[in-house]
């Protein structure tokens, strides 16, 4: 028997104006999150920022504006496609524009996020004996209060910008493309394929930052894909079942474990 279509499909489709307003909110938040990321970059990649040919404040402004515009456009695309496959930002939409707010598992999202961070910390030592030497061993260690404070600010980038890119846009796009092949019908397999692919690409997206710390080899690539992929699977499932808000909160919680709790514990 053919699978039933997804019960999450929203009808009727909200107006473009409403989606533009919601996407603009996401764009502003992404711009602010990008600016908040820079103190962390100063801590973990001082050698890269030392090569800048313009004042750091100007780089922050330009990058924040660029990220805000880009994420607004990607969010708008994700929201429009999401109406067709039952994905999106149901709680925030109802909060901004009225309507019944869907019940969000806030506590569960926090717990799953923290657990994902702990799992990543637990898996990381398995790769440590095989990792190549650091490219910049003279760089300051990412531990202590200074690193934790910068890590707290950077966690907003992960929870907001990365989730808008990887889940609201990319994962929605992957489900939407599959649904087009099924004449608008969606199946659980479509979502799981999208979750896995988005998780893998989530790991790939971290490679440019990783190559500033280690030379790129099979172990470094495997570590990056596995550790980020673990979190990506959890975040994708939360997005599917509860919306982008729960995925954002879980991602933020995971980053707090990795970039705040861990540095304080080791410092």
Which pLDDT score is estimated for 149? 93
Estimate to the nearest angstrom the gap between the alpha carbon of 31 and the chain centroid. 14
Is 141 within the bounds of a domain?
Answer: yes
| pTM given for the model | 0.91
Is 206 within the bounds of a domain?
Answer: yes
Residue 2 has pLDDT above 70, yes or no: no
Is 5 within the bounds of a domain?
Answer: no
Residue 234 has pLDDT above 90, yes or no: yes
Is 2 within the bounds of a domain?
Answer: no
Q: What is the mean pLDDT of residues 189-217?
A: 93
Question: What gap in Å lies between CA 39 and CA 110, rounded to an integer?
Answer: 24
**How many other C-beta atoms can be found within 10 angstroms of the C-beta atom of residue 91?**
18
Is 8 within the bounds of a domain?
Answer: no
Q: Which domain holds residue 28?
A: 16-266
- Closest CA relative to residue 243, chosen from 92, 100, 107, 129: 92
Q: Using one digit for the tens of pLDDT, what is the confidence trace for 17-54?
A: 999 999 999 999 999 999 999 999 988 877 777 788 89
Residue 12 has pLDDT above 70, yes or no: no
Which pLDDT score is estimated for 141? 65
Token digits for 234?
């959890």
Is 180 within the bounds of a domain?
Answer: yes
Is 160 within the bounds of a domain?
Answer: yes
Please state, rounded to an integer, the average pLDDT across all residues of the chain.
91
Number of domains making up the chain: 1
DSSP 3-state percent helix, strand, coil across the chain (nearest 5):
75, 0, 25
Q: Sign of torsion, CA 81 241 113 207?
A: negative
Return all residues near 144 (Cβ < 8 A) that are at least 6 apart. 263, 264, 267
Confidence of residue 6 (pLDDT cuts 50, 70, 90): very low
Is 26 within the bounds of a domain?
Answer: yes
Question: What gap in Å lies between CA 187 and CA 176, rounded to an integer?
Answer: 11
Q: What is the mean pLDDT of residues 209-235?
A: 93
């Amino acid at each position: 028997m053919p699978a039933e279509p997804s019960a999450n499909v929203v009808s009727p489709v909200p107006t473009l104006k409403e989606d533009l307003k919601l996407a603009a909110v996401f764009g502003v938040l992404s711009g602010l999150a990008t600016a908040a990321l820079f103190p962390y970059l100063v801590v973990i990649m001082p050698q890269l920022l030392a090569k800048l040919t313009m004042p750091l404040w100007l780089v922050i402004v330009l990058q924040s504006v660029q990220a805000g515009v880009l994420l607004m456009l990607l969010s708008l695309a994700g929201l429009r496609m999401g109406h067709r496959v039952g994905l999106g930002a149901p709680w925030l939409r109802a909060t901004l524009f009225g309507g019944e707010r869907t019940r969000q598992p806030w506590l569960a999202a926090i717990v799953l996020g923290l657990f994902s961070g702990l799992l990543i910390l637990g898996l990381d030592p398995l790769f440590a004996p095989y990792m190549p030497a650091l490219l910049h061993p003279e760089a300051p260690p990412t531990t202590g209060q200074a690193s934790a404070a910068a890590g707290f600010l950077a966690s907003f980038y992960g929870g907001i910008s990365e989730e808008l890119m990887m889940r609201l846009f990319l994962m929605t796009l992957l489900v939407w493309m599959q649904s087009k092949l099924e004449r608008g019908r969606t199946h659980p397999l479509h979502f799981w394929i999208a979750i896995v692919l988005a998780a893998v690409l989530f790991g790939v997206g971290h490679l440019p930052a990783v190559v500033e710390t280690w030379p790129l080899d099979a172990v470094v690539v495997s570590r990056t894909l596995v550790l980020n992929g673990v979190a990506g699977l959890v975040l994708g499932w939360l997005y599917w079942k509860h919306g982008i808000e729960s995925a954002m909160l879980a991602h933020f919680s995971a980053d707090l474990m990795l970039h705040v709790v861990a540095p304080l514990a080791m410092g």
